[in-house]
């Protein structure tokens, strides 16, 4: 009898382990990301500063079709302000001087350049006509598409900038632009980066959730949940304060450069 009970326990534990593994696989494929709410304003100038990073949660990409780490990594930051959603892409590339930015016209095919893309569906289920597509190349040339009306999206901000380690891009998209319900437990979406072929290097496409053939695969949109921010320790707050101060001193020491920025303020959020 005792042997039978032990055998049954082993079966139960094994089943629980298998179920846990399957659950992880499902969420790994489907994608799940908690995006913190914040009462901060964000400055969209193409550079994801320490202040913006400290308000955000972060995720990374895998190679589309391979589920492996990209050679050229992308780190994505996001937070939900009172007025809209912020996304900051940090794209590593040891050869920023070779970035491909052939498209110069807004709403042109920027996705064939060094570029990043995102799709947002402000609903519980992704459908053929209830999402928005945004993209930008490394030169800051923007693209957008509203699937509901088959037209560009108005009222959003996007900037990009080259850095010694590659390039960065920022998007700020107001809730009013997305026409989404703010009382939902989560939205749907996906994110992608394209690094075109150059020289002997092949094209590399990476994404948050592998969409298959196209980022427009609404059946594979991941889950985005807006959450209250976690309380930070005094040590962490002091560290962030020091980073901000160092960033300010660095900006003040730089002369002869002028940058165009957009500061986004607030209204009620989801």
Cα separation, 94 vs 163, in Å, equals 10
> How many Å apart are CA 91 and CA 256, to the nearest integer?
26
| The CATH fold of domain 31-254 | Immunoglobulin-like (2.60.40)
Residues 192 and 203 sit within 8 Å (Cβ to Cβ): no
Domain boundaries, the chain: 31-254
Q: What is the pLDDT of residue 242?
A: 79
Give the pLDDT band of residue 262 (cuts 50, 70, 90): low
Summarize the confidence of residues 158-182 as an average pLDDT.
94
Report the distance separating Cα 45 and Cα 47, nearest Å: 6
- What predicted TM-score, i.e. pTM, was given to this entire model? 0.77
Q: Which of 104, 76, 68 shows the shortest CA–CA distance to 92?
A: 76
Is 45 in a helix, a strand, or coil? coil
Q: How confident is the model over 95-148, as pLDDT tens digits? A: 999 999 999 999 999 999 999 999 999 999 999 999 999 999 999 999 999 999
* Two tokens, residue 178: 């997305």
Mean pLDDT, rounded, for 177-205:
92
Residues 125, 222 contacting (CB under 8 angstroms): no
Which pLDDT score, from 0 to 100, does residue 229 have? 80
12 versus 247: the higher-pLDDT residue is 247
Structure tokens at 57: 């949660």
How much is the pLDDT for 139?
A: 98
| Among the ranges given (23-37, 45-59, 193-207), the one the predictor scored with the smallest mean pLDDT | 23-37
Specify the pLDDT at position 64: 96
Q: 192: closest CA among 79, 70, 55?
A: 70
Using the predicted structure, report yes or no on whether residue 28 has a pLDDT greater than 50.
no
pLDDT tens by residue, 200-245: 999 999 999 999 999 999 999 999 999 988 765 566 667 777 777 7
Report angle CA 132, 223, 213 to the nearest 5 degrees: 60
């Amino acid at each position: 009898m005792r042997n039978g009970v032990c055998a049954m326990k082993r079966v139960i534990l094994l089943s629980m382990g298998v179920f846990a593994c399957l659950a992880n696989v499902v969420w790994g494929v489907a994608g799940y990301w908690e995006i913190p709410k914040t009462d901060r304003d964000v400055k969209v100038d193409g550079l994801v500063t320490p202040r913006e990073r400290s308000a955000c949660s972060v995720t990374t990409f895998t190679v589309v079709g391979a589920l492996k780490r990209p050679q050229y990594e992308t780190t994505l930051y996001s937070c939900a302000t009172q007025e809209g959603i912020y996304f900051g892409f940090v794209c590593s590339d040891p050869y920023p001087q070779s970035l491909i930015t052939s498209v110069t016209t807004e709403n042109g095919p920027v996705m064939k350049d060094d570029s990043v893309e995102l799709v947002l569906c402000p609903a519980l289920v992704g459908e053929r006509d209830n999402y928005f597509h945004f993209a930008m190349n490394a030169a800051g040339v923007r693209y957008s598409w509203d699937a509901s009306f088959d037209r560009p999206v108005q009222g959003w901000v996007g900037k990009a900038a080259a850095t010694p380690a590659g390039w960065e891009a920022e998007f700020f998209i107001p809730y009013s632009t997305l026409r989404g319900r703010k009382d939902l437990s989560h939205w749907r979406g996906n994110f992608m980066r394209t690094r075109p072929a150059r020289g002997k290097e092949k094209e590399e496409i990476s994404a948050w959730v592998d969409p298959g053939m196209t980022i427009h695969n609404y059946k594979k949109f991941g889950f985005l949940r807006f959450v209250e921010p976690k309380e930070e320790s005094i040590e962490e707050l002091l560290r962030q304060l020091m980073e901000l101060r160092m960033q300010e001193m660095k900006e003040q020491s730089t002369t002869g450069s002028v940058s165009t920025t957009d500061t986004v303020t607030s209204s009620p959020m989801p």
